[in-house]
Amino acid sequence: MELFELNIGQIHQGLVNKEFSATELTRIFIKKIESDNPKIFAYLNFDKEKIQSEAISQAKEVDELVSQKKDISLLAGVPFAVKDNILVKDIRCTAGSKILENYIAPYDATVIKKLKEKKAIILGKTNLDEFAMGSSTEYSAFGSTRNPRDLERVPGGSSGGSAAAVAADIAVFALGSDTGGSIRQPAGFCGVVGLKPTYGNVSRFGLIAMASSLDQIGPITKTVEDSQTVFEAITGKDPLDSTSVEPKLQITNCQWQIKDLRIGIPKEFFVKGIEPEVEKNIKDFIKKLENEGVKIEEISLPHCTDYALAAYYLIMPSEASANLARYDGIKYGFSFQEAADLKEVYFLSRQKGFGDEVRRRIMLGTFALSVGYYDTYYLKAQRVRTLIREDFKKAFEKVDVILTPTSPTLPFKIGEKITDPVSMYLADIFETAVNLAGLPAISIPGGKVGELPVGLQIIGKPFEEKNILETSKIFEKII
């Protein structure tokens, strides 16, 4: 295997055994990014003066520790990428938007601070749909990312740059954010592993907010084992994030037995709209599970399929419209200098700084929160959210985890859905309910249709990442 193909555990063993150095590894990744990124455009910011020089400096520190025969963490010397809505001190952070094109982060996000303490090495900032609003990474203000499995297709979104970087072997792992499927869907499209933790299990401090009750940071990796390693490094309560909590269940090394598993299959998820190839792939895998002795239970999540997407596209834009009100052309970010007066500064800065999809969602959210419509739309959506939580609660009385497709479609072609927002929104139909309920979920590679990956989504009870990770390890062997 080439060094850039190694996973976290293999890199750790190689460094400890002095088969290669962290500096050598980092230089190999830098060279590969310079070679491959122009055709994929996974990285938005790969600054030679700042990021690359800092990466080499960090790698030399790890090599010094190894030479002194000191213990190093599993993540020490491991090169990784960061979605460009997560702050890294002194590095430009754009959120994929012109309005933040020249914004320099004044501090590290908590997850970055934790990974720096483990001596993981930052390679650069990855592309995303503007302010994480999208399902294809075509809404980035700086250009579209391409899927490494087929350069004519999208990598999914909004963490498409992060998923593409891992799939193309130009990062060992990456951080993404998931508001309505934005880690899992691109992981599924790119054939890698994407973990969306329980809401509150990972600090959001330093994540540029889109919808504060839905956003969650998580890892995109090559293997489930890698996902667990990164998750353990970034999880935990943070005094800087009041919504973060102490984990109720710690990750352990317990091994699930196949015969003990009870897998729930929502009958409503195999509905009109799912592509036949995706449906066949998932059903074939379910048969494999049954042959292995796994208990398959049909369950019902009626409010999830009928109302989750509609509720999500009221709650998320409402919260986004409030969060994005801070970008007014005055405090920071882009400011339209040719304005005639203060009112025009506000209007023109936002008009020129925000893209079409961001403006669309701000208008939707502002309307849903306006006088006379709040009860009809936003409040009703929150009531539906409660019903969705109850659906999952009842389902988990019968089963350990729930299995669904990650996406109803295969990766679609670039430009295929960009002019049809509703069609684009439907790409997240299997994922938004998880965010509304605050549950943990993971997407793992579930085979291929031709050369295109199909993702499997495994959903767990709140704070039971352990269960979905252990289940995923079993699934990896069966697939």
Give the angle subtended at the CA of 279 by the CAs of 191 and 307, to the nearest 5°. 95
**For residues 362 and 14, what is the distance between their CA atoms, to the nearest angstrom?**
49
In this structure, which amino acid lies at residue 194?
G
Query: Under DSSP, is residue 269 helix (H, G, I), strand (E, B) or coil?
Result: helix
**For residues 419 and 439, what is the distance between their CA atoms, to the nearest angstrom?**
31
Query: Under DSSP, is residue 124 helix (H, G, I), strand (E, B) or coil?
Result: strand
Q: How far apart are the first and last CA of the chain?
A: 22
DSSP state of 396: T
Contact (CB, 8 A) for 212 and 431: no
Contact (CB, 8 A) for 183 and 176: yes
> In the numeric block, which tokens belong to residue 258?
């196949």
Contact (CB, 8 A) for 154 and 129: no
Choosing from 140, 159, 182, 407, which is the catalytic residue?
A: 182
Cα–Cα separations (whole angstroms), residue 73 to 12, 219, 230, 258, 420:
8, 17, 11, 31, 46
**For residues 387 and 2, what is the distance between their CA atoms, to the nearest angstrom?**
49
**For residues 269 and 134, what is the distance between their CA atoms, to the nearest angstrom?**
22
In this structure, which amino acid lies at residue 393?
K
182 among known catalytic residues: yes
* Residue recorded with tokens 């970008």: 327
Question: Which is it for strands 79-83 and 121-126: parallel, antiparallel or unpaired?
Answer: parallel
Contact (CB, 8 A) for 217 and 234: yes
Cα–Cα separations (whole angstroms), residue 187 to 273, 402, 411, 470:
21, 18, 11, 18
83 among known catalytic residues: yes
Choosing from 21, 32, 83, 119, which is the catalytic residue?
A: 83
* Residues in the chain, total: 479
Contact (CB, 8 A) for 277 and 449: yes
Query: Under DSSP, is residue 213 helix (H, G, I), strand (E, B) or coil?
Result: coil
Q: At what angle are helices 276-291 and 465-478 packed, to 10 degrees?
A: 90
39 among known catalytic residues: no
Choosing from 158, 159, 318, 349, which is the catalytic residue?
A: 158
Is the peptide bond between 242 and the residue preceding it cis, with omega within 30 degrees of 0? no
Cα–Cα separations (whole angstroms), residue 446 to 190, 255, 388, 406:
11, 21, 26, 9
List residues with catalytic annotation.
83, 158, 182
